[in-house]
Structure 1
Amino acid sequence: MAASAAAAAALPLLGAATAAEAAPRAAGAARRRAAELFYTGTWKGTQIYGGWFDPVRGTMTRIGPLAEVTANWAAAHPSRPVLYVAGGEDGGVVHVFRVDRATGGLAPAGEVHTDGGGTAGGGLSYIGVDRRSDTLLVANFEAGLAASLPIARDGGLGSPVSVVHDTGSGPNPRQAAPHPHEVVVDPSGTYALVADFGADRVFAYRYDRSTGAMSYDAKTGPRSFATAPGSGPRRLVFHPNRRDCYLLNELTADLQALHWNPRRGRFTNRQILPLDSPGFEGAKSGAELAISRDGRFVYASSRGENTLVAFSVDRRTGLLRLVQRVPCGGVKPWSFTLHESGRWMFVANQVSGTVNLFAVDRRSGRLTDTGRSLSIPSPDGITFC
């Protein structure tokens, strides 16, 4: 499509840093090798920005815009220098870029339509890699579908091996139709779980890891877990113990602790906690969710109150306890990313146009704003590659 051609033609210009940005990069190849590369999309924008992160010093350096493409979400190949970008144009397009890990440059390497090449369904809300099946999972918010795409050995993408359509609606005006917001494979590898914002449900589709295909019984439909009417399920994470799961609802800005039964493919609700403080009276908007690698803490963001919220996980019961609410350092924390070391959190504050860096206390789970940030227009996500 024209966007990829434009990206290829414009790459030398877009990849050129300003003098201020070039100075840190010229500090030496040794330091760059120690730094880590990340990318940031721009909500309803047309560019992807790059940056370097020094995990020892806790410093970020912006590279500059590197590709011309709409970017609703992004995911990195787990081992190859490949970045997948969920486009916002019609057709539910996933773009593939080859990554130059020495410079951060992005080279277009193809694209795949997730709705059969049609003209509907531009709103991809999530893409993620299931490493064990070499599959890219896609949630198409606008078209009401989820798809799975095979990943080739070189990191390229094939046409969808399965497309499933959610059903249902909710009472909120934004819930007139199903709107998948995320697709997650359960720890057993037998179900693909779709958190559907529009249907107020988490759908459980059968998942075949040998083929990467999602399916359901045509007579009974997929199994599903119903949330409260008007809640708007958005994000889902599993605890390392494989049985506890946490669900973030956008419209009610709350967090549910669930128990997962893989044999039956069913959830049981155990706890619901609000993200916002008791005195908050503004519009609610839960946004992002993550769990620490050791499973001791769960983090969420509220775009309504502009806060980051930390919860501790009871080791015995899996239930949550509020640890901290802290200002996000900007406005509208659209998403955040926990660094693999567990020491840092990167927050994409979409309206204020900043990526803010927080330090994470791995003992207490508490967050501290470092005061360091990068200026990036309408950031919507941070992906390390």
Structure 2
Amino acid sequence: MKKTCLIILISMMTAHLTHAQNQLVPMFVGTYTSEGGSRGIYSYLFDQVTGNSDLISEVETPSPSFLARTDKFLVAVNESGDGNQSISSFNLADETLTFENKVSTKGGAPCHVLLGDNGRYAVVSNYSGGSLALYSIDENGHISEMDDYREFKGSSVDPKRQTKSHIHSAFMGPDKSIYVSDLGADMIYVFDVVKDGTKYQFKEKELITVTKGGGPRHIAFHPKGKTMYSLQELTGDIVVFNKEKNGWKQSQIINMITAEFEGQHGAADLKISPDGKFLYSTNRADANTVSVFAIKKDGSLELKQLVSALGTGPRNLNLTPNGKFVLVANQVTDQIVVFARDAKTGLLTDHGRRIVLSKPVCIIF
């Protein structure tokens, strides 16, 4: 009897400890730095039950506008166009960042970084440079010199934004290929990343075109792997593709805003809920909104809610790991807004919490 009670007590203590650990999760925020403003990357502990957050540390690094991480290290692009553009690596010990090393991205204005092969390589998208850079990374997060580099020469119909290639992001697909969005050319390039001796190399696989003038920026894949969503920065459209034997076939184009909207779009980011039932996206410029879409069984989208971002310049957004909250980084008004999310309906409400921070642009957990 005593042994049984002891086992039950240990089980209860273990369950309580697991719950406490799951309740508080590390969160990292990248910013645009400035004199008198933010200094770099900010680390928080976010409470997935209450929506509260506590600042743990900050590390100084110039304009870390996009972040990616493993359990052991974090990488950030330092978005600059003055010759100082780079990718930086930081060790993660007890969720505290310690600088490891930095290397040049060669192309100007690096705006996105992807980690692949369990963190053994990084792919950097250079926006103004119109290029893609590939690096090997060791198990401690040390970045080696560049393994491969691709520069793109494209253009499209927008006379201001599409006079040349602008590589905006590279996302990992369900097939383990990387999908590269060229805002300037209205193209999505698909590459395999293969090991050639001791180095990684890009291997061309597929070319996907989107509607002219759309300006593809970010991509999200449905958890089932059969549907791809391409966010168009210039038009505020989301283009839906379904996977077929011969590649990806466009099946829908839906706008993030209602038909009554008049103004300029600045679509920025999109994420899918953990259950695969809802898609969330942000729109800047004259909109400053968050859109909520229901995802139907065939992968198509239906607009369910359009809410104010409660700030200006909603850049990146992210869902907490448990899906209870959606956080939106309002770059221009210097704060992250915490929205509560109804798991059944997908709808958002203002949770009332704000994280005040100069020019937040990227949120990861």
**Fold shared per TM-score above 0.5:** yes
* TM superposition score normalised by structure 1: 0.82
Q: Is the 8 A contact 2:188 2:209 kept in 1?
A: yes
Q: Is the 8 A contact 1:53 1:60 kept in 2?
A: yes
Question: Is residue 91 of structure 2 the alignment partner of residue 112 of structure 1?
Answer: no
Q: What 5-or-longer segments of structure 2 have no aligned partner?
A: 1-19
Residue 213 of structure 1: SS of its match in structure 2?
Answer: strand
User: In structure 2, do the counterparts of structure 1 residues 150 and 320 end up closer, same or farther at CA, with 3 Å as the change threshold?
Assistant: same
Instruction: Give the distance between the partners of 1:73 and 1:91, measured in 2 at CA.
Output: 16
Q: Is the 8 A contact 1:170 1:200 kept in 2?
A: yes
Question: Is residue 79 of structure 2 the alignment partner of residue 96 of structure 1?
Answer: no
Instruction: Give the distance between the partners of 2:128 and 2:305, measured in 1 at CA.
Output: 34
Instruction: Give the distance between the partners of 1:107 and 1:65, measured in 2 at CA.
Output: 10
Instruction: Give the distance between the partners of 2:195 and 2:317, measured in 1 at CA.
Output: 28
CA offset at residue 290 of structure 1?
0.7
CA offset at residue 64 of structure 1?
5.8
Who is 1:183 aligned against?
170
Who is 1:20 aligned against?
none
Pick the aligned partner of 1:37 from 26, 33, 39: 26
Who is 1:71 aligned against?
64
Which residue identity does 1:206 align to in structure 2? Answer: D
Q: Is the 8 A contact 1:124 1:138 kept in 2?
A: yes
Which residue identity does 2:32 align to in structure 1? Answer: W
Who is 2:249 aligned against?
268
Instruction: Give the distance between the partners of 1:124 and 1:57, measured in 2 at CA.
Output: 35
Which residue identity does 2:31 align to in structure 1? Answer: T
Residue 204 of structure 1: SS of its match in structure 2?
Answer: strand
Q: Is the 8 A contact 1:141 1:180 kept in 2?
A: yes
Which residue identity does 2:290 align to in structure 1? Answer: L
Who is 2:16 aligned against?
none
* Pairing 1:80-229 to 2, within 5 Å after superposition: 80=72, 82-89=73-80, 90=83, 92-101=85-94, 105-115=96-106, 121-132=107-118, 134-172=120-158, 173-189=160-176, 191-208=177-194, 212-216=200-204, 223-229=206-212
Residue 64 of structure 2: SS of its match in structure 1?
Answer: coil
CA offset at residue 278 of structure 1?
1.6
User: In structure 2, do the counterparts of structure 1 residues 33 and 277 end up closer, same or farther at CA, with 3 Å as the change threshold?
Assistant: closer
User: In structure 2, do the counterparts of structure 1 residues 206 and 76 end up closer, same or farther at CA, with 3 Å as the change threshold?
Assistant: closer
User: Which structure is higher in strand share?
Assistant: 2
Instruction: Give the distance between the partners of 1:176 and 1:340, measured in 2 at CA.
Output: 39
Give CA-to-partner distance per residue, 1:230-260, whole Å, 9 cap, x none.
1110011111221211110000011111113
Question: Is residue 290 of structure 2 the alignment partner of residue 308 of structure 1?
Answer: yes
Q: Is the 8 A contact 1:99 1:106 kept in 2?
A: yes
CA offset at residue 34 of structure 1?
5.7
Instruction: Give the distance between the partners of 2:96 and 2:174, measured in 1 at CA.
Output: 34
Instruction: Give the distance between the partners of 1:38 and 1:133, measured in 2 at CA.
Output: 18
Instruction: Give the distance between the partners of 2:99 and 2:220, measured in 1 at CA.
Output: 31
User: In structure 2, do the counterparts of structure 1 residues 205 and 34 end up closer, same or farther at CA, with 3 Å as the change threshold?
Assistant: closer
User: In structure 2, do the counterparts of structure 1 residues 229 and 362 end up closer, same or farther at CA, with 3 Å as the change threshold?
Assistant: same
How many residues align? The count is 337
Q: Is the 8 A contact 1:284 1:303 kept in 2?
A: yes
CA offset at residue 99 of structure 1?
3.0
Q: Is the 8 A contact 1:164 1:215 kept in 2?
A: no
Pick the aligned partner of 1:330 from 311, 325, 338: 311
Q: Is the 8 A contact 2:32 2:40 kept in 1?
A: no
Identity across aligned pairs (percent)?
27
Question: Is residue 364 of structure 2 the alignment partner of residue 383 of structure 1?
Answer: yes
Give CA-to-partner distance per residue, 1:145-176, whole Å, 9 cap, x none.
11222221122222232222223112221211
Q: Is the 8 A contact 1:253 1:276 kept in 2?
A: yes
